[in-house]
Amino acid sequence: MRRKDKEITDIGEILEIVAKCKFCRLGLSENNFPYIVPLNYGFSYDDGRLILYFHGATEGRKIDIVRKNNNACFEIDCDTKLIEGEKACNYGYEFKSVIGFGKIVFLDTVDEKVAGLNRLMKHQTGKDTVYDFNDDELKNVVVFKMAVEEFSGKRKVIKRNDS
């Protein structure tokens, strides 16, 4: 990372960002061209392994691309705020973000799909509810996960005087 002063090295702080943000930009590659799609997500972090869960329609460009090339990257950000300046070059943005790389895997069994959807619902709703999904609902949705191989966090926060 070029700007080491903005790098987040504490895994706890990185996971707080992952937990706080609600959508993710998933980057894919098709014929050497990037394709970026915003998605809601769920996640787990166990034994030092970050997994992101997604869902969507059973067909479409995103699915076609992943079936040909499952390498992916992601970016999530939150806590953004405009920093005003006296001149145009003094403006900026506060932010917290996480970027990473990994491989996409489709979840095929009923148990895997239900578990993935429940991870997504827990993250999006903040509830520990375990949801049931009927056969039609599961047949009409694709659930996939990204096994994150590498990720990093970055932030820019302006300290303010509260006086």
Residue 104's CB is within 10 A of a number of other CB atoms, namely 21
Whether the CA torsion 26, 113, 152, 71 is positive or negative: it is: negative
pLDDT in tens, the chain (163 residues): 565 666 788 999 999 999 999 999 999 999 999 999 999 999 999 998 999 999 999 999 999 999 999 999 999 998 888 888 888 988 888 889 999 999 999 999 999 999 999 999 999 999 999 999 999 999 999 999 999 999 999 888 776 555 4
- Structure tokens of 147? 């096994």
Q: pTM (2 decimals)?
A: 0.89
Phi-psi region of 126 (alpha: psi -120 to 50; beta: other; left: phi over 0): left
* Radius of gyration of the chain, Cα coordinates, nearest whole angstrom: 18
The Cα-based distances of 38 to 22, 68, 106, 138 in angstroms read 10, 20, 18, 22
Give me the residue label for tokens 């504490």.
10
Beta-carbon contacts of residue 100 (< 8 Å; ≥ 6 apart): 50, 73, 74, 148, 149, 150, 151, 152
DSSP 115-159: HHHHHHHHHHH---PPPP--HHHHHT-EEEEEEEEEEEEEEE---
Residue range 78-106, pLDDT digits in tens:
888 888 888 898 888 888 999 999 999 99
Where do the structural domains in the chain lie, given as residue ranges?
4-111+143-156
Q: Is 4-111+143-156 assigned to CATH 2.30.110.10? A: yes
Rounded distance, CA 136 to CA 134, Å? 6
